[in-house]
């Protein structure tokens, strides 16, 4: 399965509407399965909430890295597979952070550092595709007052040096996308070479 990746340099807000089907095609002319990444604020409006458990909650942050994934390989789309892929993306991102010496905790699809919530995520399906939104905070700014938050740029190593900054952030984004898409491709390859029972 080919998955196109496009990183958008323009800063714009994720309000929840970007998880609608065929957003990448409508906005950027990208056909087929894709991952769109960009940096920008998050402020999910009530009419765009997809998780019933989040109704009435504020989901916002001034500065996050956003991933919108869309897959057309399952027809009809499968919610369970969408969530399995979401967890895979989250765990791959967490694996990369571990390689940089960052200790994290995962609860479902959320990643925490020193008790602070680093990421948010949701998966869902439409009639034609499966969608994932995954995002992680760069700073603890503009977030709900009742939620303890961690920003990636706030994390330091043992010598109190900032681990991630503007200079290596894009490398982190690209590495996360590359490992995720490679994992999905190797799964497809394993399926194609495995003898059925």
194: alpha, beta or left? (left if phi > 0; alpha if psi -120 to 50): beta
CA distance 117 to 136: 9
CA dist., res. 187 & res. 180, Å (int): 11
In this prediction, the residues of the chain whose per-residue pLDDT falls under 50 are 51-56
Q: Which pLDDT score is estimated for 52?
A: 40
Claim: this prediction has a pTM higher than 0.75: yes
Set out the domains of the chain in order of their start, with CATH numbers.
4-187 (3.30.930.10)
Residues 6+ apart with CB under 8 A from 26: none
Q: How many C-beta atoms surround the C-beta of residue 132 within 10 A?
A: 25
pLDDT of residue 55: 40
Instruction: Give the list of residues 6+ apart from residue 126 with CB closer than 8 angstroms, or none.
Output: 20, 21, 77
pLDDT tens digit sequence for 47-71: 555 544 444 456 788 999 999 999 9
pLDDT digits (tens, 9 = 90+) for 129-161: 999 999 999 999 988 888 899 999 999 999 999
């Amino acid at each position: 399965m080919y998955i196109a990746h496009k990183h958008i340099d323009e800063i714009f807000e994720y309000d929840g509407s970007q998880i609608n089907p065929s957003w990448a095609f409508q906005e950027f002319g990208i056909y087929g399965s894709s991952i769109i990444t960009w940096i920008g604020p998050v402020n999910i409006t009530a009419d765009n909430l997809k998780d019933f458990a989040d109704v009435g909650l504020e989901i916002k942050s001034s500065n996050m890295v956003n991933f919108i994934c869309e897959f057309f390989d399952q027809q009809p789309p499968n919610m369970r597979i969408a969530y399995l892929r979401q967890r895979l993306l989250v765990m791959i991102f967490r694996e990369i952070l571990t390689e940089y010496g960052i200790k994290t905790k995962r609860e479902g699809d959320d990643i925490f550092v020193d008790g602070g919530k680093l990421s948010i995520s949701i998966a869902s399906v439409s009639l034609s595709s499966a969608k994932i939104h995954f995002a992680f905070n760069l700073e603890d700014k503009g977030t709900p007052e009742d939620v303890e938050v961690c920003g990636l740029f706030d994390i330091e190593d043992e010598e109190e040096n900032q681990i991630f900054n503007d200079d290596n952030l894009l490398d982190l984004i690209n590495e996360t996308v590359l490992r995720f898409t490679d994992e999905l491709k190797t799964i497809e390859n394993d399926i194609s070479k495995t003898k059925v029972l």
